Structure 1
Amino acid sequence: MTVRQTMMLLVALVLSMPGLIHSFNPLFSSRSLTHRDITERAVLRKTAEVCRDIAASKGLDFSLTIDNSLSVEMVQRACSSAGTSTSLLSTIKFVTSIATMYLSNAMVDIEFAPSAEHHFDNETFQRGRDIITKGVSAVKASVRLENFFTGRWTLGQICHTLQDFYSHSNWVELGNKAPYSALIRPDQPLQNLAGPSTPTCRNCIGDNCTNNILPDVLQRGLLTSGYFNAISSTKPEGKCSHGGFLDQTSRKDPVGGINKDRFDSSHGFLHYDAADLAILATMELLEDIRLAAGDRNFTRLMGLSQSPVLCFVIDTTGSMGDDIAEVKRVSSDIIRRRRGTEQEPSEYILVPFNDPDFGPLTRTANADIFIEHINRLTADGGGDAPEMALSGLQLALTAAPPFSEIFLFTDAPAKDVYLKSTVTALIESTKSKVNFMLTSFFFGRRRRRTPQGVAPRAMSRSDVQVYQDLAQASGGQAIQVTKSELSLVTNIIEDSSVSAVVTVFQATRNPGSPDNFTFTVDGLLRNVTVYITGASPLTFSLTSSTGVSQDSSQSSGPLASFTKTGNLHHLSLNADNQTGLWQISISSNNPYSVKVTGQSSVNFIYNLVEELEGAHGDFSLKEGRPLSGGNTSILITVTGSDTVKVTEVTLFDSSGLTEVNGSLQSLGSGNFLVTFSGVPAGEFVLILKGEDSSSTSKSTSSTFQRQASTQIKTTSISVTTQANNTNIEPGTTISIPFTVSTTTGGVIDDSGTGTFTVRVSNDRSYASTSPTSVTILAGSGGKANGTVTLTAPSSAASGTDVTLTIEAENAAATDINYAVLRFSVATKVTDVNPPVCEVVSTSGTCASSSSLCASSQWEFIANLTDGINGTGIESVTIRQGNGTLNISTAVGSGGENITAVAYIATCCSQTVELTAVDSAGNVGTCVGKAATSSRGHTLNISTILWISVLFSVPWEVKENKWESLSHVKDCSFFSGFLSAIAPCTQTFSSGGGGLDVVEMPKAQLKLQPLEAAE
């Protein structure tokens, strides 16, 4: 056995032991606050603050009280430009984004369980801080390139480490009431660390650890954290332990621990104090990212948008001229009608493909850029060869946010069918829907040639089946029309690109057979639409809850109006129809699908989770597919209403013959844990039913039904990975060990054997190595190990994301499972110092009276520099103020680049705060204030200088260097080196107890030797 395999075995042993979790519980706890609670509260509060500031800048009211009682719906509503309007409110993207962050946060306890620095154990303060600051740089780089999903995933992981600091260290015991800002500031020193030989704890008295930290440590303000080891009791003499059942070091003197992970932990009496500080620290981290990203990109990172993305994957070969023209028309029409409204797409994605090329990917929030790229598309070449359709789709699936709807246009078969299982894995992982607009079909004896003189390319039944299988797996549709009919079916794009679209019911029959389907229309639904896809002959009849019927011979009737184009039947239910249980009967022996959608605020998201072994019974995100024959746990979050009650969650197989009912456990705030026992092999869809208690009208049904679009397929193969890093530096290679196991009844079969085909793919076409197969041998415990390598090219831009898919398929090619991993390319950051502001002048005087403020102006001039070795200032923006900013650049005498800013405003806005961001994402601020006059006399202040902690400006006098002003406790610090104390004004205190902002006349500032200050 190799050293790596031995370590992997030890990690597996640790993960199987009781009491695994040694941090705030990841997701669930009945009384204690979890990482999920902390992350969600911090995100909601910070997002609300950003929306409040945006509203203030526009002169709008913002009445929301910002505290820990905020809900997603409250923040989404307050941040919506509709305000208190009656328009439908969709919170699905916001909820999904927050879930991504807290699920990523929870995964740290699995992926980095033995890593002391990921949890601030063992006094690893410097290494823990490095994880945070490197991660923050990666998040900022991801946001810069609009890779928001990867940014959220990385953000969740670093939040775990940051939050653990307040539970695992003695920061709270030292009496601190604010976060330790140096943890997110690599330019600031970590101070008062207990030395490696400094004793920090004494024995607890039985189970009472209230006073086990040494008084000397508390009096001197020394920072320490508990030692933790699940295997060995070894720790430095006299050091504190983490504590808890799993921590073997807590049994060695000094016994006990200091963690505050839960209310019943060693220092559980401080649990809520630690959690509150962790919330504030997470908000401080989010604020730093906000300043670097800007308000708009920050709200996009948080997922604060009601409308979906508009995503097209388009074949650009010679016969596709009509299709491309239709995509241009539809896109322009949607953008024209929705620009500036809440229905405007939140993002635009375009991926062209042909043969042998696919891409490049265009992803933007700017509609004009999107239209520009679409207008560049031309139909050229291609001939009759199959195209790289699935490669283009793979790129779109990894670029689009989860739960997106993607439209692929082609008239040719897929050349890269070998990617079908990879694309299926990405569909299941992202829960995105894919609709295929297939235009190779013709109904005359001759194929009509396109304006480019190229005839459409006919596809065989097997060619079409590839697209139909992917559509069925995703909950999308494979629509088959002629070129001339395409414009008649693209209304499906408009139907799905509005906000708050929900799936009420969906089913397929392959092979086809006559069947009856029921679905519930509730009072929360609007614009109910039914789609039926299937080749002729196909007939149907629709029956309402009151027994009224309409069949397919009536294009317009008492229940709905419908159209038929190609293989698509499109039914729009009349607006005044009754709520209740409806039925649709379909008669066809050909394969077909039926789908019912509508618009509603009430929807849900789901994620497969698995139980962590141990005493705490918590859960974490599950990789790949659920195991057949075993228990399957799903975390469900219902969105859009505080008055709905979930009564039933069920798994149905695609044939409709098998039904598995779930055991429902409410977790509060619209979250439910659903457990399914003994799920058999097959393909299932998730259906949620409930009641809406807000329905008061007798004619309005209180019962509602929602269905997940993406199929859930079970497997008997387990694929797990052990990625020890989520970042890759350009030009470097990382290794990802993986394990393939056989299972029986949902557990690993220790006696299992077999050979499995291994396929590895990534969406960036980065160089990669992997075994083509692995073999589980007798006596191996039913497992086989392998390693994948992935190399990021040296030219890769920092912030690029790459999605890696590892698949394992059995020898009979009848079963498959996968693991999907996302990595961020992150350049090593050497510039850790923020831009520095030097105030040049403040001119103009404003009267103290505001009645005539608009008639007077003042000007603020400053120089911003990033140092001779800095990465350079990338942007300067106005964070506070309503004036005009002019920016110019120059080179200083020392060779440094200088960004000169001149700000002019009326006296109605007498304060300006500028934010400067360098290319490494470091943030500096520059604040100026107008001079004011009272009773006609001008104050004797030529310039007011505000020095922020964000600058960390070093003071120098001859050979002596002054500490950063962030360490100043109060104005008395200046008594040793200021000629006049009176001008010093403490404006507010920083989180660490230091002085954040000092206000003083620049002309009166004098520095004395260091000894004088001491």
Structure 2
Amino acid sequence: MATLGSVLLPLAAVFAFTVPSHCFRTLTGASFTHRNITERAILRKTAEVCQDIAAVNGDPFDLIIDDSLTPEQVVQACSPSASVVSSVAFTNAIVDIYLSNADVDFLFALNAEYHFYNETFEMGRTLITRGVSAVKDSTDMGNFITARSVLGEVLHTLQDFYSHSNWVELGNTAPYDALITPALPLENLAGPTVPTCRNCIGDDCTDNILPAVLDGGLLTSGYFNRFFPNKPEGKCSDGGPLDMTSTQEPVGGINKDTFDSRHGFLHQEAADLALTASLDLLESIRICVGDQDFLRLVGLSFAPVLCFVIDTTGSMGPEIAEVRRVSNSIVASRLGTGLEPPFYILVPFNDPDFGPVLQTTDATFFMEQINLLTASGGGDLPEFSLSGLRLALTAAPRFSDIFLFTDAPAKDAVLRSAILALIANTRSTVTFMLTDVLSFRRKRELEGLAPRIVTQAQAELYREIALASGGLTIEVPNSDLSMVTIVIEDSIAIAVVTVFQDVKNPGAPCNFSFFIDDTLSNITILLTGTPSLTFTLRSPTGATQTSSEVSEPLASFSLAGNFRRLRLNNDSETGLWEISVNSTDPYSVKVIGQSSLDFIYNLVEIQDGVSTDFFRQEGRPISGGNLSLLVTLTRSDGVSVTQVSLLNTLDGTEVNGTLQPVTDSNYVATFSNVTEGTHVVVLRGTTSSLTSRMTPGSFQRQAPTQIRTSNIVVNALPNTTIIEAGSSVTIPFTVALTNGGVIDGGAMETFTVSVTNDRDFPVTSPSTVTIGADSGGLASGTVTLTAPEDALSGTDVTLTIAAEDAAAVNSNDVVLRFSVFRVSDIAPPVCLANTSSGCPADESLCKYFVWDFTANVTDGINGTDVEITILEGNGTLETSTEVGPDGEIITVVSYTASCCANRVVLSAVDNAGNVGRCVGQADEVDVMPTTEWNVVVKSNQVCFRGSRVFVAK
């Protein structure tokens, strides 16, 4: 049997990424890491944006912006007035970005341009500028998940430049602007035959770059190859422990990845420049997309999205009316409060149509579109409900709550595996609002409507999806729908956390216990089950309430269909609560509340080598194998995690992981020999602020989404995550069977392959793959995805590759996201013929004078209009357009300001998202006093106050 670490080695160069290249370490170690640099840059830039917004609005902003910021501090400083806020969305976006950053070492370890190895400056710069354009375009289209993924990759390449090149050794103390500005030339590059290094003296490489290179300001980078020692004669090596070229003269290297690297004496300087360059790149994106979309890109929101997937067939009139009512209520209560959803998503489905996705930040437009929904058509009973759900899962941010309304079974059950894969990938929660399920048929017939019955067997698919996501399946007659849609407001309230959740199928009497801590408020217990279900709720003090008591002494209680809702009357009674449920039919229990204390987790793989790196694991973990979780808290002040466990949802057994702290808010939990089945992640800990009577300081949280293990492993490696419109991307993939957590090298199996994407882009793939006799236990295949010629730049496409064994018992999958990019204008606008008038050299006179700045800005021949905004300065800006002699569009800029602010920086953004700048500085002039009175001020040349007038010489 082969280990999982060696499973991809037979594919040689394509899959030889199981040991990462040596770069800024990704998560751990004393040195600065990609995670450190990326997280600090995002936190600082986000805080700067919030500070600028507060200044414009005249609001206070009480936060010191430095490298010690935490996500919760930034969220608190940026948030509107609220009793509780959560940093879940912001924290998740940061983690997504820096894990995508880490993935570059996993996916593109052998691609020199991704790391600026081998003097690949032009190719590396192209990756950065193309990636930045893709981020801007994806952000403009609201495709924030894909934008974050690409942003992480771009930041990795940009940061690696400062570690792998000699930019620092050349004495530069500012970032290399040409890397993010394609219009600037890459200058002073060492030619392919120019020697750049000499041998290190033992382990001392402080003087191995040739003096001619340093004196001439020539830019070079280290060569790297983990398999062969060959490199051009006289060239520097990277010099990391995995670099074979460092053994060939000139031996040694110049990388600055860590303090103990060959040029580790410059590690601090390289990391500082990488941070500044990352801030510059984020600023260029911010200028282009605007402050609000930048904040959405980095996940800074104070409320969840509002996402509806709704059946619009002829019988759904009452349901559409209820969605309209609920939406109106939520929008009206939050509009203008600063606690509005960051955006709204609506996906209609019918037969044979579904979609398109409506995604908007405009609440009024969202409501207009809901008001336009009508119930019509439908034909046969089943509808394309899963197709609509797939669109919502790929459009909504991770950890979203999605609500699907239907009275019909799924016509597209073939998408089941893709839906489950997307839920595992996005951690989104899906709640189904089902009407006309079996027992409600008689009412429909009495109303004279054609019966549209979802049988219990057909509803089981919806229950399976809801269960996997941590959602609910609520079954009510449509006349009672308004009684249960309160769960929507419960779920999308601010800072909602899951305290406890369990499902019993088959049903059986059971006692469930859970901790309530004093960070929690608005605690609600949600039950689903048959009308015969009964329960008893018990508080930490021993007080009880049964299902026959609707309001006292512990909770208020409502019932509709299969749904029960209990809202605790007293949030301050902390400690161990218990609910005893008596039912032999299937039922579910879910406890939620509002709290700033929550967590997210990501499945990661640990690569042991010269450093320990973590990479995101796609698909399901392997039965019987090891599992590692990167657990991130949303607050760390006074909080200590004492236990992260996997709860088996089938037999109720719980296994504790081995905890390793990474930072104050990050932990790695490692589990060995993970059992087969489905699991949920449970986190327990203590915090100094809690005063629980039963167990002082205790709290618990549970992740809603299930983790399902598999004995199949699927790996895929695209050669890019950006597809040019009209072109294709090739994705090699492998499938294998495992036994006891390792690849079964002697297995013989044929797998059914299913490949889907949410944009219906053309795809070619094999329908089956087979493990051959001499394949080392691997079946391999290739998927080709083509972006149509007319695909808009910034469009994202989510591809799912699923493999199922011959017995149709086990399956696994991988979810990949791509961004479409159109090759277009990459040159930024330029500032021409700018002039500035003067201001007095004596600064004490500045308030008596004004100055002017004028400029012509153009995007060139065949260019576009440009948008001018003030980056620095507080004067008055006026613009007009005219046509130049060669037909180019010229934007004429006129700026006037007080001489007390004698500098202006303007941004010029064209329609392709390229950003240029105009800088104006008032000239200094001498002034002399005169005794003239009542001088009419017509320019900055004359200004008077009282009886004293100043005239420019």
- TM-score tier, shorter chain, comes to over 0.9
Deviation at 1:812, TM superposition (A): 1.1
Residue of structure 2 aligned with 1:225, choices 216, 221, 228: 221
Alpha-carbon distance in 2 for matches of 1:918, 1:149:
24
Residue of structure 2 aligned with 1:681, choices 671, 676, 679: 676
Residue matched to 2:3 = none
Partner SS for 2:113: coil
AA aligned opposite 2:424:
E
Residue matched to 1:309 = 305
Residue 356 of structure 2 corresponds to residue 363 of structure 1 = no
Deviation at 1:696, TM superposition (A): 6.2
AA aligned opposite 1:76:
V
Alpha-carbon distance in 2 for matches of 1:275, 1:737:
35
Residue matched to 1:328 = 324
Residue 725 of structure 2 corresponds to residue 730 of structure 1 = yes
* 1:643-722 superposed matches below 5 A: 643-695=638-690, 701-722=696-717
Deviation at 1:441, TM superposition (A): 3.8
Q: Decide whether the 8 Å contact of 2:80 with 2:339 is kept in 1.
A: no
Deviation at 1:65, TM superposition (A): 2.0
Alpha-carbon distance in 2 for matches of 1:746, 1:703:
34
* 1:260-409 superposed matches below 5 A: 260-409=256-405
AA aligned opposite 2:485:
T
AA aligned opposite 1:192:
N
Residue 129 of structure 2 corresponds to residue 133 of structure 1 = yes
Residue matched to 2:28 = 28
Residue matched to 1:76 = 75
Query: CA 1:450–1:113 in 2, change beyond 3 Å: closer, same or farther?
Result: farther
Deviation at 1:930, TM superposition (A): 7.8
Partner SS for 1:784: strand
Q: Deviations over 1:560-601 (max 9, x none)?
A: 011001100000001255100111111111111100000000
Query: CA 1:185–1:576 in 2, change beyond 3 Å: closer, same or farther?
Result: closer
Residue of structure 2 aligned with 1:764, choices 759, 772, 785: 759
* 1:535-574 superposed matches below 5 A: 535-574=530-569
Residue 868 of structure 2 corresponds to residue 869 of structure 1 = no
Alpha-carbon distance in 1 for matches of 2:94, 2:264:
27
Residue of structure 2 aligned with 1:424, choices 414, 420, 423: 420
Q: Decide whether the 8 Å contact of 1:318 with 1:454 is kept in 2.
A: no
Partner SS for 2:112: coil
Partner SS for 1:352: strand
Residue matched to 1:595 = 590
Query: CA 1:315–1:182 in 2, change beyond 3 Å: closer, same or farther?
Result: same
Residue matched to 1:521 = 516
Alpha-carbon distance in 2 for matches of 1:141, 1:276:
29
Query: CA 1:696–1:390 in 2, change beyond 3 Å: closer, same or farther?
Result: closer
Alpha-carbon distance in 2 for matches of 1:702, 1:6:
46
Alpha-carbon distance in 1 for matches of 2:60, 2:770:
65
Partner SS for 1:814: coil
Alpha-carbon distance in 1 for matches of 2:708, 2:441:
42
Alpha-carbon distance in 1 for matches of 2:497, 2:48:
30
- Judge which range, 260-269 or 860-869, deviates more: 860-869
Residue 579 of structure 2 corresponds to residue 579 of structure 1 = no
Residue matched to 2:948 = none
Residue of structure 2 aligned with 1:179, choices 172, 175, 187: 175
Residue matched to 1:742 = 737
Residue matched to 1:963 = none
- Judge which range, 545-554 or 652-661, deviates more: 652-661
Deviation at 1:939, TM superposition (A): 15
Partner SS for 1:319: coil
Q: Decide whether the 8 Å contact of 1:436 with 1:471 is kept in 2.
A: yes
AA aligned opposite 2:25:
N
Alpha-carbon distance in 1 for matches of 2:497, 2:705:
13
Alpha-carbon distance in 2 for matches of 1:850, 1:356:
74
Alpha-carbon distance in 1 for matches of 2:277, 2:463:
48
Residue of structure 2 aligned with 1:195, choices 183, 191, 194: 191
Q: Decide whether the 8 Å contact of 1:384 with 1:457 is kept in 2.
A: no
Partner SS for 1:236: coil
Query: CA 1:890–1:260 in 2, change beyond 3 Å: closer, same or farther?
Result: same
Deviation at 1:238, TM superposition (A): 1.1
Query: CA 1:551–1:91 in 2, change beyond 3 Å: closer, same or farther?
Result: same
TM-score, normalisation: structure 1: 0.88
Partner SS for 1:104: helix
Residue matched to 1:97 = 93
Alpha-carbon distance in 1 for matches of 2:199, 2:900:
62
Query: CA 1:745–1:339 in 2, change beyond 3 Å: closer, same or farther?
Result: same
Alpha-carbon distance in 1 for matches of 2:695, 2:901:
53
What is the root-mean-square deviation in Å for CA atoms of aligned residues? 2.8
Partner SS for 2:443: coil
Alpha-carbon distance in 1 for matches of 2:809, 2:12:
33
Query: CA 1:387–1:450 in 2, change beyond 3 Å: closer, same or farther?
Result: farther
AA aligned opposite 1:866:
D
- Judge which range, 899-908 or 521-530, deviates more: 899-908
Q: Decide whether the 8 Å contact of 1:846 with 1:907 is kept in 2.
A: no
Deviation at 1:448, TM superposition (A): 3.6
Residue 812 of structure 2 corresponds to residue 821 of structure 1 = no
TM-score, normalisation: structure 2: 0.93
Deviation at 1:869, TM superposition (A): 2.8
Residue 916 of structure 2 corresponds to residue 920 of structure 1 = no
* 1:928-947 superposed matches below 5 A: none
AA aligned opposite 1:340:
G
Q: Decide whether the 8 Å contact of 1:776 with 1:783 is kept in 2.
A: yes
Deviation at 1:699, TM superposition (A): 9.3
Gaps of 5+ in 1: 945-1003, 1005-1014
Partner SS for 2:670: strand
Partner SS for 1:280: helix
Residue of structure 1 aligned with 2:12, choices 5, 10, 28: 10
AA aligned opposite 1:689:
R
Q: Decide whether the 8 Å contact of 2:866 with 2:891 is kept in 1.
A: no
Residue of structure 1 aligned with 2:105, choices 96, 106, 109: 109
Gaps of 5+ in 2: 1-6, 942-952
Residue matched to 1:977 = none
Q: Deviations over 1:473-528 (max 9, x none)?
A: 00000100111111111111111112100000000011111111110000110000
Deviation at 1:343, TM superposition (A): 2.4
Q: Decide whether the 8 Å contact of 1:111 with 1:722 is kept in 2.
A: yes
Deviation at 1:848, TM superposition (A): 7.9
Q: Deviations over 1:251-272 (max 9, x none)?
A: 1111111111111111112112
- Judge which range, 829-838 or 272-281, deviates more: 829-838
Residue matched to 1:53 = 52
Alpha-carbon distance in 2 for matches of 1:838, 1:292:
24
AA aligned opposite 2:590:
K
Deviation at 1:532, TM superposition (A): 0.3
Residue 142 of structure 2 corresponds to residue 146 of structure 1 = yes
Query: CA 1:860–1:380 in 2, change beyond 3 Å: closer, same or farther?
Result: farther
Partner SS for 2:601: strand
Partner SS for 1:785: strand
Alpha-carbon distance in 2 for matches of 1:397, 1:808:
21
AA aligned opposite 1:625:
R
AA aligned opposite 2:857:
L
Query: CA 1:218–1:878 in 2, change beyond 3 Å: closer, same or farther?
Result: closer
Alpha-carbon distance in 2 for matches of 1:521, 1:843:
67
Query: CA 1:11–1:910 in 2, change beyond 3 Å: closer, same or farther?
Result: same
Alpha-carbon distance in 2 for matches of 1:203, 1:158:
32
Q: Decide whether the 8 Å contact of 2:226 with 2:244 is kept in 1.
A: yes
AA aligned opposite 1:397:
L
Query: CA 1:237–1:518 in 2, change beyond 3 Å: closer, same or farther?
Result: same
- Judge which range, 923-932 or 738-747, deviates more: 923-932
Percent same amino acid at aligned positions? 57
Partner SS for 2:770: strand
AA aligned opposite 1:358:
F
Residue matched to 1:119 = 115
Alpha-carbon distance in 1 for matches of 2:198, 2:841:
62
